[in-house]
Structure 1
Amino acid sequence: MRLMKPPGVYRAQEDTRLLVECLAHERLRPGDEVLDLGTGTGAVALVAAGTGARVTAVDISRRALATAWLNSALNRRRIHLLHGDLLEPVRRRRFDLVVSNPPYVPAAAPSLPTRGIARAWDAGHDGRALLDRICRQAPAVLTPGGTLLMVHSSLCGTEETLAELKQAGLDAEVIARRRIPFGPVMSGRATWLEEQGLVAPGEREEDLVVIRGVRPH
């Protein structure tokens, strides 16, 4: 795919690639309903659209939505774009697959940023401000047998995500894991992460995990 990546929009990185690899193993059929939460450049949404699925992509950033629209035109793949906060624009709809690469980087600021590129990664002190909302809310928009695929860093608590999804009624498991070096954002916060006990002294790597949750029939 050709992807425009303008300043101010989260660029597809290793977490996006890992999520796309897992998406490729889902048996999407033409006409299946797919939701991409926090679409950014639209990379994951466009891969799903390539299967013939009907894809809805949501982002709180209007710049991201404009970028996703441009990328859909460049690649001649149709996605339905909605502006809004996670599941707010689609609460009355149901999807066969929900995918998300949400913000998950722990941040010193107690509140989430309301503008700027930091909205693409800052997620509160423990990195779970968006993850917890998705775990609680996504099961309600899944069809029976529908699937949630979500990627995040193990620093945010893999077991916490599994427990929340199971409490919400999904059968959940880790289906992929990849060890990577800290990127620029995590590297810039390494000392603070050490002070918070989120990483060991001198640790400069993290595990990315993809978690799959399935709503029982």
Structure 2
Amino acid sequence: MYAPQEDTELLTGALSEEPLARGADVLDVGTGSGALALEAARRDTRVTAVDVSRRAVCVARWNARRAGLPLRVLRGNLFDPVRGESFDLILTNPPYVPAPVPADAGEPRGSARAWDAGGDGRLVLDRICREAPALLRPGGVLLMVHSALCDPDTTLARLRATGLKASVTRRRRIPFGPVLRSRADWLRRRGLLSADEDDEELVVVRAELPS
């Protein structure tokens, strides 16, 4: 399960700036502990939280009960549990850390599912770019955070190709955590880091479906 960190905080700030009508339908994909979902629920919205991890689902439900907030928590892979539904806002802090794995290794297992995302870090990001637009209502918004190591321009181009208006609305540089520190040499060999870089930039991408 993914504990809230700087990326969650950055996305929470972006969420706070979104105008949300009372009763708006919000989806938090890859909810982890439910931190983002609960922030949205505090604004009198109807929130659905999804995670593939059984442990995350249990923790999110427990945190919702402890906070006294209504939260629908579903277990499943990304958008699979909510096919056929639509939302005013989709939040996601997906796995985005590039990982030195064989091309045929498939999806990560165990705790690494919370951060590992293939050789370019886009294993989950590209699925979100393809699938999220179909779940947005007209005027609906997708807010997604990821590392600049994963090429935000690619994210913007793929979202725009589906008809969404997309831009980077927030940026923050943070020191490497344990996972990136352990992979710094590999990232430099891949050309994703320069020789003197010891921090990464996080970005929030906002994409809106025109009304």
Q: Distance in 2 between matches of 1:137 and 1:113?
A: 18
Whichever residue aligns with residue 65 of structure 1, its letter is: V
- What's the secondary structure of 1:145's corresponding residue? strand
Q: 2:98 aligns with which of 106, 124, 132?
A: 106
Check if 1:214 corresponds to 2:208. yes
Aligned to 1:3: none
Give identity over the alignment, percent. 55
The 8 Å contact of residues 166 and 205 in structure 2, kept in 1 or not, is answered as yes
Aligned to 2:47: 55
Q: Distance in 1 between matches of 2:195 and 2:15?
A: 35
Q: Distance in 2 between matches of 1:209 and 1:48?
A: 20
Q: Distance in 2 between matches of 1:112 and 1:175?
A: 32
Q: Distance in 1 between matches of 2:180 and 2:108?
A: 20
Q: 1:161 aligns with which of 155, 161, 164?
A: 155
Structure 2 gaps of 5+ residues are: none
Q: Distance in 2 between matches of 1:58 and 1:12?
A: 16
Aligned to 2:177: 183
The 8 Å contact of residues 112 and 122 in structure 1, kept in 2 or not, is answered as no
Within a 5 Å distance, the mapping from 1:1-217 to structure 2 comes to 9-110=1-102, 111-217=105-211
Quote the RMSD (CA, aligned, Å).
0.9
The 8 Å contact of residues 108 and 117 in structure 2, kept in 1 or not, is answered as no
Q: Distance in 2 between matches of 1:168 and 1:113?
A: 25
Q: Distance in 2 between matches of 1:95 and 1:112?
A: 30
The 8 Å contact of residues 112 and 123 in structure 1, kept in 2 or not, is answered as no
Q: Which moved more, 1:77-86 or 1:148-157?
A: 77-86
Whichever residue aligns with residue 213 of structure 1, its letter is: A
- What's the secondary structure of 1:35's corresponding residue? strand
The 8 Å contact of residues 36 and 98 in structure 1, kept in 2 or not, is answered as yes
The 8 Å contact of residues 126 and 156 in structure 1, kept in 2 or not, is answered as yes
Quote the offset at 1:89 in angstroms: 1.1
Structure 2-normalised TM-score? 0.97
Number of residue-to-residue matches in the alignment: 209
- What's the secondary structure of 1:163's corresponding residue? helix
Quote the offset at 1:113 in angstroms: 4.4
Structure 1 gaps of 5+ residues are: 1-8
Structure 1 pair 153–114 and aligned structure 2 pair: CA distance change class (3 A):
closer
- What's the secondary structure of 1:129's corresponding residue? coil
The 8 Å contact of residues 148 and 212 in structure 1, kept in 2 or not, is answered as yes
- What's the secondary structure of 1:189's corresponding residue? helix
The 8 Å contact of residues 98 and 147 in structure 1, kept in 2 or not, is answered as yes
Quote the offset at 1:112 in angstroms: 4.6
